[in-house]
Amino acid sequence: MNLLAQQLVNGLFIGSVYGLFAVGYTLVFGVLDILNLAHAAVFTLGGLVALWLVQTAGMSIWLAFPLATLFAGLLGLLLNQVAFAPLRKRADSQFSGLISSIAMAIIFEAVAMGLFGARSVRFPQGTVSVHIWHIAGVTITSLQVGIVLVAALLMVVLTLFIQRTRIGKAIRAVAESERAAMLLGVNVNGIIASTFLISSALGGAAGILYGLYFDALAPDMGRSIELKGLAVIILGGMGSIPGAILGGLAFGLSEVLTVAITGTSNLRDAVAFTVLFAILLIRPSGLLGRGKMREA
Partner 1 sequence: MLEVAGLTVSYGPIEAVREISLRVTEGTVVSLVGPNGAGKSTTLNALSGVVPAARGRILFQGRDITHLSPHQRVSQGIVQIPEGRLVLAGMTVRENLEMGAYRRPASEFKAGIAAVEARFPILAERRNALAGTLSGGEQQMLAIARGLMARPKLLLLDEPSLGLAPLLVKTIFDIVGELRSGGQTILLVEQNARQALLVSSHAYVMENGKIVLEGPAQQLMSDPAVISTYLGQALDAPASVA
Q: Which residues are near partner 1 by CB under 8 A? A: 166, 169-170, 172-173, 176-177, 179-188, 290
Can you state the angle between helices 268-282 and 221-236, rounded to 10 degrees?
Answer: 20
Torsion of CA 71, 76, 77, 83, to 10 degrees: 140
CB neighbourhood size of 271 (10 A): 16
Torsion of CA 176, 35, 64, 224, to 10 degrees: 140
Q: How far apart are CA 229 and CA 51, in angstroms?
A: 22
Q: Which is nearer to partner 1, 169 or 268 (CB)?
A: 169
Q: Which is nearer to partner 1, 88 or 169 (CB)?
A: 169
Q: Which is nearer to partner 1, 81 or 177 (CB)?
A: 177
Q: How far apart are CA 135 and CA 133, in angstroms?
A: 6
User: Closest separation between CB of residue 2 and partner 1, Å?
Assistant: 45
Q: Which is nearer to partner 1, 169 or 223 (CB)?
A: 169
User: Closest separation between CB of residue 279 and partner 1, Å?
Assistant: 23
User: Closest separation between CB of residue 174 and partner 1, Å?
Assistant: 10
Q: Which is nearer to partner 1, 126 or 291 (CB)?
A: 291
Q: What's the start-to-end Cα distance of the chain, in Å?
A: 48
Torsion of CA 228, 230, 231, 233, to 10 degrees: 120
Sign (positive/negative) of CA torsion 189, 27, 88, 172? negative
Q: Which is nearer to partner 1, 49 or 174 (CB)?
A: 174
The answer to whether 225 touches 43, Cβ cutoff 8 Å, is yes
User: Closest separation between CB of residue 295 and partner 1, Å?
Assistant: 18
